[in-house]
Copies of this chain bind each other. A is one copy, B any other.
Amino acid sequence: MTSTEPIRVVVWGENRHEQVNPVVRGIYPDGMHNTIADGIADLLGGEVTVSTRVLDEPEHGMTEETLAATDVLLWWGHTAHEEVSDEVVDRIQRHVLEGMGIIVLHSGHHSKIFRRLMGTTCSLRWRNDGDSELVWTIAPRHPITEGVPQPIVIPGQEMYGEFFDIPEPDELVFISSFSGGEVFRSGVTYRRGYGRVFYFSPGDEVYPVYHHPDVQRVIANGVQWARPERARESYLVTPMYLTGEFDRPVLTSPDGLVDYYTREPITPREP
């Protein structure tokens, strides 16, 4: 059932903190997106091809061509969500609905694309004060949790706490606690259209979280989980079906009924 073609992974990074904050640059000298990409490539090897895109590329690197050739997109943004154009957000959403997997990381909870897919504010409580985070597995046989300890221990992290304003997840995979006492649904999955969505919260820019082997393992597992299992497919957008003709979508047109795919006129079949 599973394809043997490599999973085409694209890691999108905002790549702004790295330019202005020496702490972040010290931790991620090649940019966070490259560290995330390297972690995936190291763990999954020939099972994937991994590339990166950043905000400041034309169309933010998210061209139709790139997205059409992407199986799983990872998204890390924080300070510049509003700079992402609505047209690009529309395009990414369409690809997710048609089957592309997407993994949204940490502060990406507030990105336009995540809020678009969720329909909510995706707001949360926070504190950036070096809390330690424990990431507990709630779904012990979920593929995303394979090979990670119970719990994952992250020595320093930004606190993200409840209430996290998201729709009820399809699957709750991880819950984190912080040394300050807060809790957070730190790993949640959704289906949207034909695509799979995984949000995973560890990963503030001022801590070396994406160098953490267990975090890398979760992300690599997420890539395997989010990959589309079938070919990308455009939606049948509200097609009409004649009675008893379950397999022939049609459209109404000024010239009468036409075939959904060919736009040629059709006639009802004999019963």
Q: Which residue numbers of A lie inside 8 Å of B, CB to CB?
A: 1-2, 93, 97, 99, 110, 116-121, 123-127, 129, 131, 134, 136-141, 143, 146, 149-151, 153, 161-165, 167-168, 170-172, 175-183, 185, 190-195, 221, 224, 228-230, 235-244, 246-247, 249
Contacts and interface: CB of A to CB of B under 8 A. Distances in A.
A13 to B, nearest CB: 21
A194 to B, nearest CB: 5
Contact of A244 (B136, B180, B195, B229): B180
Contacts of A192: 119-120, 167
Contacts of A230: 141, 146
Contact of A97 (B116, B143, B165): B165
Nearest to A194: B141
A121 B116 CA distance: 12
Given A192-B167, A228-B141, A119 B121 contact: no
Top 4 A-B pairs, shortest CB-CB distance: A177-B177, A117-B119, A180-B243, A175-B183
A244 B159 CA distance: 12
A149 B247 contact: yes
Contacts of A185: 138, 175
B125 A236 contact: yes
A247 B150 contact: yes
B249 A125 contact: yes
Contacts of A125: 236, 238-241, 249
B141 A99 contact: yes
Nearest to A117: B119
